[in-house]
Structure 1
Amino acid sequence: MNTNRLSYPMQQALIKQMTKEAHAAQIFLSYGCWADGEGYGGIANFLYRHAQEERNHMTKLMRYILDRGGVPTIEAIPAPPQNPQNLTDAFNKIFEHEVDNTTAIYEIVNLSLEEKDWATWNFMQWFVKEQIEEEKLALELIDKLKIAGGDNATDESLFALDKALEEAPDSVSLPQEATADKPS
């Protein structure tokens, strides 16, 4: 008896997303190593923590496939892209990566709607919410660097940014949590 509750296309889409999350972890790890080598220990720490979060996302997908009776396969991941040229390049690439990941997650949500796979649709809502957070976090990196002076930032402002990101929380407030009393 077949106990796999996932269609073949859905299982393959989830495996593909597992691989994207593993690749994301490698990108953040790679950018963290670059930042560390450039003397940005706080930014590196932030990126290392984010690499672990991406591995956790991969594990959630793996566990879901298993719990639905499927068989997750571990695929090869591409090498991370070349090191960024500077912090502006790094933060812009992080944002672009998150937008690409959001698009991939939406494709799985759309497939779950087409298949009327409500369990997967429900499961993927966590990732939809997470991507709102991920994109906002990436935009905040870009904004913080702009406030510090962007490519023309002084050593002092880069030092302050590095320290701020070292201690920054790994999550951000979301619009769903806003109230008139606490708008942000």
Structure 2
Amino acid sequence: FVLQSHYSHEGNFSWENLSAARNRLRKWYEVACLRHQTYESLDDDQRKSDEQSGHVSLLAASGAVREALANDLNTPEALRLIDEAFDRVLARPLAAVYHRGLEELLVAIDQLLGLDLCESTPDITDEAKQLILQRQRAREARDWPTADRLRTELATQHIAVRDTPQGPVWWWAEK
């Protein structure tokens, strides 16, 4: 919340602004969880960085964030740049996300802003991954009661699931 305003300007507290900051951070945690769901080889990452400018821009985002902070600690601009980069990540199919670029951006954000996005979003257990796979199979078989039961079981472990055309995407739900 504090980072939304430049340090030389008075912040504007409102419950709406506080809620918006919370939603932003929640989205950032969701994006941080994606790093556990992108499984490419180094060759795939290299090809993606060479062929797709969207992935190169993901790598450039950490540099742009650094520049914004170096420019009189312009945190509102840094947050805007991070939001743009994460929006590009969320707009792509999971298989098209540049894994190394995402990891590097998350590490840079943690180092620059101290948010601990990586540490706060560990990978889920193998058992939870199996539940997600079983749920996906139940959905494909149109066994909605089983799919709902598995979603509920995942929710008890604080794991949320979103269904995409490319398959399920998970993140840590609020505790």
What is the TM-score when the length of structure 1 is the normalising length? 0.29
TM-score, normalization by structure 2 = 0.29
Higher helix share: 1
